[in-house]
Structure 1
Amino acid sequence: MTSTTTSTGTDGRITVRISDPGELIAAVPHLLSYRPGPSVVLLNHSRGRRRRIIPVIRADLPDETCEPDAVRELVRCVLRHPGAGVTVLIVGCRPGHRAPPGTLPHHRLAHRLVAECEAAGRPVDHALWVPEIRGGAPWRCYHEDCRPGVLPDDRETVLAAAMATNGQVTYGSREELARQLDPDDPAAIERRDRLLAAAADARPDAPAMGSSGVAEPAGHVAVVRAALARAVAGDFDLSDEDVVSLAMALSDLRVRDRCLTTAEPPGEPPAAAAERLWLELVRRTPPPERAEAAVLLGYAAYRRGDGVLAALAFDNALAAHPGHRLAELLQICLTRQLPPDALRRLSHCQEGGLMPPPP
């Protein structure tokens, strides 16, 4: 029987409680921010009365010869996070895979994952298989004592409604998600590149970007504050002049580092508005200046647990500015599965005060 409930806390946060395996599978696209194709997915259930699902770890289905190494690496990733249990989910089949008669696809892979998790002291709540994550698809469990079921439409679940209320979008594929970071208009990017070059030439005596011992330009801070105030109000319409002035402001690394504070508290409406502003700037700013908005986007996504968007944003930053130090550092943290809460100190050691006061 499906059991999904919601509650709204005093802080306005919506909590969705799921106890049915089919509902949990249907939640995976929303937790990843995109609908996965053939994959192995591990959902780590945190400790405590409210068992949050963090992180969600996804990988392509490995070849048979690579299965032992792939299983060990996946479980190592899970064990870097505190947790009380794991749900194993296998989606679809690897091309060319043939399941023995009477068994589910990738039966050996599922059992290797269960054995490796439990040997490490992380019990597996469910080990599930589904051909694809679509409404009406049948799901089954690798444990014989678990009854099979049918997936609900993941676009019409309580979680989908809660995500939509918070302005979060679930994409049809990872490629579709990645395209959100593509330049909005190549001709406009070239035009803004010329404007940035002209603006830099107009201030030849300015100190080097991010140089220490020099006070932050008040104008840069004011530019960022004004843009964030408009973002919180829902205004993301940026002129060429807006993009250029924000790119120049964020090129001062002290100003950019203060912007890390806008990711707090993760997932709250003000932080979501700031993250949307960084995304718009990634799409509208030429390289190498684009890297600063991209690293802020990645940091905000990382802090709220969206490792997929964070990885895409850090790649974007490094493509715009190879060797970008903060992007490289955060990319290493993400690759090593450092928990999002461990990054909180990056925000807390910065001077804040950039976001508009609450109404």
Structure 2
Amino acid sequence: MEADDPERIASGKHYNFIVDGPAKLLMSVPALLGYVPLESLVVIGLKPAVESGRPEIDLIAHLDLTVIRGTHSTEVASTVAVQMQHSGVRTAVVVIVGGSGSRDRLPYEAEREDMSRALLDHGIETVDSLWAQAITVGAQWCSYEDDAIHGLLADWQNQPLSLHTAVLGDGVRSSREAFGDELRPIDRGNCERRSRKLAAADPIVTSKQIVKAVHRILDAVHDAESDRLPVTDEDFINLALALNCRQARDVALLLCLGTRQRTASRRLWRHLIRGLLKPDAAPAAAVLALAHCLDFNTNAAYAAVKHAQAGKPKSLLVGILKKTLDNPAALKVIGKVLRERADEVLKSAYCTPDYGLEVKLEHTPDGDLELRRHPI
């Protein structure tokens, strides 16, 4: 079984990891999800790899068993199966983590059967069902299908996919909630002071102010590439004001298209979010969510969307991103749509005739995309 690294979609590089056997598949789950699951049902969707024909991991679905257990199980299983079918998944492995059970009496049998039945109803065969007491060293695991297949887990952090994830700098969180914790304000006193100043500041309305806001966004992302992040109240307030301007915010969204600029954008907007109160940080959280979507980091994107919703629950952008995250297959087209709209967005965002400059979305020699400024 091949685990295909989603980073290749952003970078153009292709990494394959061979997962040979159920134990190694179980130990790969934290790296595939981005966090260590507890009391969870995980569906690993597979389809034949284009070159080798071997089963390749295509789509991962995670469900909290404490939430879906019982009455919601059938309904949720059907929703997951539809998404798997839409993505072209042919076969799947169902993984149960947690529950008080043993090899003789495995937990969550009804929920596992509901999922397998829903997958089969949508033309997807469950090739294996596995249970793990926990994803940790020494935890028991076994197959629901064959009680002769069992063992104890080794350290998941030493698996190739986990090591590769660490090298990329993504890391694996202790839980899904940890993604949201990373967006909490660092110093609430500073955030409240900036909120008062931001409320008293004049909005961006004139063409000259719009162009200045666009430059501020471009300069801030460029500085973030060298780890130069906002420090003063003025830095935070000016960036927050710029993101409240639709045209400047559009340019911030387009900056997420370039691999290098997207990495800097993530660093910048996360820093800005942690220096502002939720209502003030909502636009930055929405842009951060898009950057994570384009990296296929749905956990971090989900946390950013929730943060944005708490600030401005009626934001159109946040609503679109939430629907995208509810349908993982949509993540595959969101970057393409942005690229198709890039020229149109830039024309509406930048007043080139009046100020002698224009911004273009261009390919770099290594195939990346960047927003670049040019005199005219």
TM-score bracket, normalised by the shorter chain, equals: 0.7 to 0.9
2:63 to 59, 78, 95: 59
Residue 181 of structure 2 aligns with an amino acid whose one-letter code is R
Higher helix proportion: 2
Report what 2:18 is aligned to.
17
Give the structure-1-normalised TM-score: 0.83
Q: 1:187 to 1:54 in 2, by over 3 A?
A: farther
Mapping of 1:223-238 within 5 angstroms? 223-236=216-229, 238=231
Q: Does 1:109 align with 2:111?
A: yes
Offset at 1:140?
1.0
1:33-75 per-position Cα deviation (integer Å, ceiling 9, x unaligned): 2211101111222443376534321112233344333332332
Residue 295 of structure 2 aligns with an amino acid whose one-letter code is R
Residue 45 of structure 1 aligns with an amino acid whose one-letter code is L
Percent identical across equivalent pairs? 24
Report what 2:79 is aligned to.
73
Report what 2:94 is aligned to.
88
Report what 1:244 is aligned to.
237
1:341 to 327, 332, 353: 332
Q: Partners of 2:171 and 2:319 in 1: how far apart?
A: 27
Residue 221 of structure 1 aligns with an amino acid whose one-letter code is V
Give the structure-2-normalised TM-score: 0.79
Q: Partners of 2:289 and 2:263 in 1: how far apart?
A: 12
Report what 1:124 is aligned to.
126
The RMSD of aligned alpha carbons is 3.1
Q: 1:134 to 1:231 in 2, by over 3 A?
A: same
Check whether the contact 1:216–1:254 (CA below 8 A) recurs between aligned residues.
no
Residue 43 of structure 1 aligns with an amino acid whose one-letter code is I
Q: 1:122 to 1:216 in 2, by over 3 A?
A: farther
Offset at 1:4?
9.2
Consecutive unaligned residues in structure 1, runs of 5 or more: 209-213
Q: 1:254 to 1:164 in 2, by over 3 A?
A: same
SS in 2 for 1:88: strand
2:275 to 269, 284, 287: 284
Residue 205 of structure 2 aligns with an amino acid whose one-letter code is P
Check whether the contact 2:192–2:276 (CA below 8 A) recurs between aligned residues.
no
Q: Partners of 1:14 and 1:327 in 2: how far apart?
A: 32
2:205 to 207, 214, 217: 207
Check whether the contact 2:255–2:371 (CA below 8 A) recurs between aligned residues.
no
Q: Does 1:195 align with 2:197?
A: yes
Check whether the contact 1:216–1:255 (CA below 8 A) recurs between aligned residues.
no
Report what 1:211 is aligned to.
none
Q: Partners of 1:77 and 1:11 in 2: how far apart?
A: 25
Residue 253 of structure 2 aligns with an amino acid whose one-letter code is L
Report what 2:364 is aligned to.
none
Q: 1:11 to 1:338 in 2, by over 3 A?
A: closer
Check whether the contact 1:5–1:18 (CA below 8 A) recurs between aligned residues.
no
Q: Does 1:321 align with 2:312?
A: yes
Q: 1:316 to 1:134 in 2, by over 3 A?
A: same
Offset at 1:185?
0.8
**Matched residue count:** 340
Offset at 1:150?
2.9
Q: Does 1:293 align with 2:284?
A: yes
